[in-house]
Amino acid sequence: MSNAAADTPLRQAHGQSGARLRQARRRIAPALNMPTETFHVLLALLVGLGSGLFTMLFLLAIQWLQYLVFGGVRPVMGMEGGTLPFIYLFIPAAGGLGVGLLVHFAAREAAGHGIPEVMEAVALRGGIIRPRYIVVKTLASALCIGTGGSAGRVGPVVQIGAGVGSVLGQLFRLSEAMTRTLTACGAAAGIAAIFNAPVAGVFFAQELILGEYTAGTFSLIVMAAVVSSVVGQVCFGDKVTFQVPEYSLVSYHELVFYVILGMIAALAAVFFVRFFYTMHDAWSKVNFWPAYLNPAAGGLLLGLIGLFCPRILSIGDFPAMEAVLHNRLWWQMLLILALMKMFSTSLTLGSGGSGGVFAPSLYVGAMLGGAFGTLVHALAPESTALPGAYALVGMGAFFAGSAQAPMTAIVMLFELTHDYRIILPLMVSCVISSMIYARLSPGSIYTLKLQRRGINLQAGKDVNIMRSVTVAEAMSSPVETVTVNETIGEVIKQMQASRHNGFPVVDEEGGLVGMITLQDIRNTPLAHRLETLVKEVMSTDLLVAYPEETLDAVIGRFSYRDVGRLPVVDSRHPGRLVGMITRSDIIRAYNRAVIGAGLGSAPTRAGLGSS
Cβ atoms of 567 and 482 closer than 8 Å:
no
Q: Comparing 595 with 204, which gets the higher pLDDT?
A: 204
Q: Please, which pLDDT band fits residue 463 given cuts at 50, 70 and 90?
A: low
Gap between the Cα atoms of 199 and 445, Å rounded? 22
Report percent pLDDT > 70 for the chain: 86
**567 - beta bridge partners?**
580
Q: Comparing 291 with 594, which gets the higher pLDDT?
A: 291
359-378 pLDDT tens trace? 999 999 999 999 999 999 99
Same domain for 265 and 390?
Answer: yes
Q: Please, which pLDDT band fits residue 454 given cuts at 50, 70 and 90?
A: low
Same domain for 490 and 443?
Answer: no
Same domain for 190 and 270?
Answer: no
Q: Please, which pLDDT band fits residue 508 given cuts at 50, 70 and 90?
A: confident
In this predicted structure, what is the pLDDT of residue 418?
74
Same domain for 275 and 377?
Answer: yes
At 607 the three-state DSSP class reads coil
In a domain, 296, yes or no: no
* Residue finishing a domain among 461, 480, 505: 461
Q: Alpha helices of 172-214 — where are they, by DSSP H? A: 176-195, 198-204
Mean pLDDT of 600-610: 35
Q: What is the DSSP string of 496-558?
A: HHH--SEEEEE-TTS-EEEEEEHHHHHTS-STTTTTSBHHHH-B-S---B-TTSBHHHHHHHH
In this predicted structure, what is the pLDDT of residue 608?
35
Same domain for 400 and 528?
Answer: no
Domain span at residue 558?
A: 466-598
At 567 the three-state DSSP class reads strand
165-179 pLDDT tens trace? 999 998 888 888 899
Same domain for 195 and 263?
Answer: no
In a domain, 224, yes or no: yes
Report how many domains make up the chain.
Answer: 3
Given a cut of 60, is residue 79 above it in pLDDT? no
CATH number of the domain bearing residue 490: 3.10.580.10
Identity (one letter) of the amino acid at 514? G
In a domain, 213, yes or no: yes
Same domain for 113 and 67?
Answer: yes
CATH number of the domain bearing residue 436: 1.10.3080.10
Element (H, E) at 580: strand 577-582
Q: Alpha helices of 294-422 — where are they, by DSSP H? A: 294-308, 317-325, 331-350, 358-379, 387-403, 406-417
In a domain, 117, yes or no: yes
Gap between the Cα atoms of 254 and 390, Å rounded? 11
In this predicted structure, what is the pLDDT of residue 181?
92
In a domain, 306, yes or no: no
Same domain for 476 and 527?
Answer: yes
In a domain, 297, yes or no: no
